[in-house]
Structure 1
Amino acid sequence: MKVKMILRRGILKTIRAAGNEDMESVFMMGYDAWGDKLAVQDYLNVCNESSKYKNGVWYVLVDTETNKLLSSLIVYTLKPSKGLVIKGIGSISTPPELRGKGYASILIKETIKELEEKEHCNLIFLYSDIDHIFYNKLNFKAIPTSKQKYKNSVCMYYSSTLEIETISYEVPAYF
């Protein structure tokens, strides 16, 4: 995704690929949820060494005036299936003090738009570790219960053109 400018509530925001200089802040956005009671430096070491985090492309929403990171996510390219271009979105997070302001929603919506327009993506998966109603508001739907792989995380999908029941697909492992 190239740099994209968005005006929201009179404040200019930018969506761009995260750089190496952003990664500590990106990882710390999710520390309260995924830190597993590790010391901060241990948590950052785990994140920096994660092959999972190296296999995707990180994006950030930035306040253009202050250069503050407002939200982040990672996009994975998943195995195609019968003409489908499939992506996964994961590690969606916002700094705790900025949650509830719509920043993650902006980043998700714009990322989906970009994936559909530029990469012809027609199926996007994510795993919800939070109340999945948040993602329902962004038009994600839970895959059928019979295909869910995990007890504490709901696999969801987004497609503007397909209903999950009408296609053959492989449920991705948690990413």
Structure 2
Amino acid sequence: MIKYYSTKELDPKLKSELQNFINVEFGDVPFVKERVWAQPDYVFVKYEGDAIVTFYQVIIRNIALDGKSYPVAGINNVITPPPFRGKGYSSQVLRETESILFNKLQCSFGLLLCADALVPFYSRLNWYKVDTTLYYDQPQGKQLYDSNVMLLTPSSQERIYPQHIDLNGLPW
């Protein structure tokens, strides 16, 4: 069963459980520890019985692609706890919730900041890498992101390849 929640209405117990998974997965990563990150607006969770088998978070924001503003679904913290890995749960949730991002949440695109090792995984789910300059905010000012940027477009829309992206806020 897949459920999604507004993080404003998230049960404190579930919020704590998800944060624990995030801390275990990314808490020691220098890139993560050295930055201030956006807080998610939504979380999608897949359960098997009472167990969380995978989840991801979404930040909804208007960003600038080549100077034009678009509402996007920023995807972050796609996590499958170790006992449930290798069973296709993340792929399933990302595929099955895509229509919610574009239809219900009315985003024009999905955008994620991606580690090299995960580009093939997301590519299989119709995400595509764009060679772009991407800027994000930090307390000390605008920063240049120097790794992989991936976009997802609705199936009815042509892919775009922006030269410049500004997240207009903190990264996700």
TM-score (norm 1): 0.70
More helix by proportion, 1 or 2? 1
Which residue in the other structure is 2:149 paired with?
155
Give yes or no for the alignment of 1:35 onto 2:27: yes
CA distance in 2, matches of 1:104, 1:154: 19
What one-letter code is carried by the residue in structure 2 that aligns with 1:137?
R
Which residue in the other structure is 1:58 paired with?
43
**Aligned pair in 2 of structure 1 residues 55, 33: CA closer, same or farther (>3 Å)?**
closer
Question: How far does residue 76 in structure 1 lie from its aligned partner after superposition?
Answer: 0.7
Query: Root-mean-square deviation (CA), in Å?
Result: 2.8
> Which runs of structure 1 show a deviation greater than 6 angstroms over 4 or more consecutive aligned residues?
none
Give the count of matched residue pairs: 147
More strand by proportion, 1 or 2? 2
Give yes or no for the alignment of 1:96 onto 2:82: yes
Question: How far does residue 168 in structure 1 lie from its aligned partner after superposition?
Answer: 7.4
Match for residue 74 of structure 1 among 51, 54, 57 = 57
Where does structure 2 lack aligned partners over 5 or more consecutive residues? Answer: 135-143
Which residue in the other structure is 1:19 paired with?
11
Which residue in the other structure is 2:122 paired with?
135
Identity percentage of aligned residues: 20
Judge which range, 154-163 or 26-35, deviates more: 26-35
Match of 1:135, SS state, is helix
Verify the 8 A CA contact 2:42 2:59 in the aligned structure 1. yes
Match of 2:86, SS state, is coil
Where does structure 1 lack aligned partners over 5 or more consecutive residues? Answer: 1-12, 38-45
TM-score (norm 2): 0.71
